């Protein structure tokens, strides 16, 4: 799964990397502790090209009467993405990329203490999570919402957690965004073993109020 992540890439650099036109309302960066319900950076494709927009992290199906009418859907399982009523249409028609620098996962000690790990690309490049999106609400309350697609963890990350975000490489972005026809379902599998690395970070990040670059500084394991 993915329940917290970091984004440090400047907005203009993000727009350039993804060849996307940026909105004027993008969230401030850097943010070393992006939490559910925060606005996140999302790349979507359209008739006029790619756009980089802010969307609420927490997918709201159209039948939700309020933002708290059901479970907080921050992740969508790849294995059931095409079948779950909440995500079925979005899987076919509303796929996106959610931009990150790295993400956090937790293990537990025998005493139950939660130990955070920071996971990032070995090559230092930004991460593009596969995502799905949904517009929700009416009139002035209308907003875009999204969820991160997750898969079974690859062997490398399975020592930390049994799930991981679906991470897409640049040559896969057009297919996932629907720019080059059908066949995106073949991307719904764990990525290469050698792309990511991880290290322990300070338990300060256990709080959703924590902030600052110290959150991604390594500490002794």
Q: Which residues are marked as active site?
A: 2, 105
What is the rounded CA–CA span in Å between residue 55 and residue 97? 11
CA-CA distances (angstroms) from residue 197 to 12, 83, 128, 137, 159? 26, 32, 15, 39, 12
What is the rounded CA–CA span in Å between residue 107 and residue 114? 6
Handedness of CA 169, 218, 104, 156 (dihedral sign): positive
SS (H, E, C) 98-162: EEECEEEEEEECCCCCEEEEEEEECCCCCEEEEEEEEEECCHHHCEEEEEEEEEECCCCHHHCCC
What is the rounded CA–CA span in Å between residue 205 and residue 117? 10
What is the rounded CA–CA span in Å between residue 1 and residue 103? 10
Q: 131 forms bridges with which residues in the sheet?
A: 96, 148
């Amino acid at each position: 799964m993915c329940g917290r992540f970091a984004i440090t890439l400047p907005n203009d650099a993000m727009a350039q990397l993804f060849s996307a036109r940026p909105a004027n309302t993008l969230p401030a960066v850097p943010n070393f502790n992006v939490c559910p319900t925060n606005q996140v950076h999302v790349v979507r494709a359209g008739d006029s090209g790619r756009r980089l927009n802010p969307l609420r992290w927490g997918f709201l199906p159209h039948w939700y009467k309020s933002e708290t009418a059901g479970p907080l859907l921050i992740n969508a399982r790849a294995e059931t993405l095409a079948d779950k009523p909440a995500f079925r249409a979005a899987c076919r028609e509303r796929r996106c990329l959610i931009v990150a620098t790295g993400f956090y996962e937790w293990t537990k000690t025998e005493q139950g203490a939660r130990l955070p790990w920071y996971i990032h690309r070995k090559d230092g490049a930004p991460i593009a999570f596969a995502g799905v999106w949904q517009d929700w609400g009416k009139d002035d309350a209308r907003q875009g919402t999204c969820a991160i697609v997750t898969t079974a963890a690859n062997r490398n990350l399975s020592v930390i957690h049994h799930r991981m975000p679906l991470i897409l490489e640049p040559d896969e972005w057009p297919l996932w965004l629907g720019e080059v026809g059908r066949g995106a379902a073949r991307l719904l599998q764990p990525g290469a073993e050698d792309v990511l690395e991880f290290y322990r970070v300070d338990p300060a990040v256990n709080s959703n109020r924590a902030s600052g670059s110290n959150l991604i500084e390594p500490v002794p394991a």
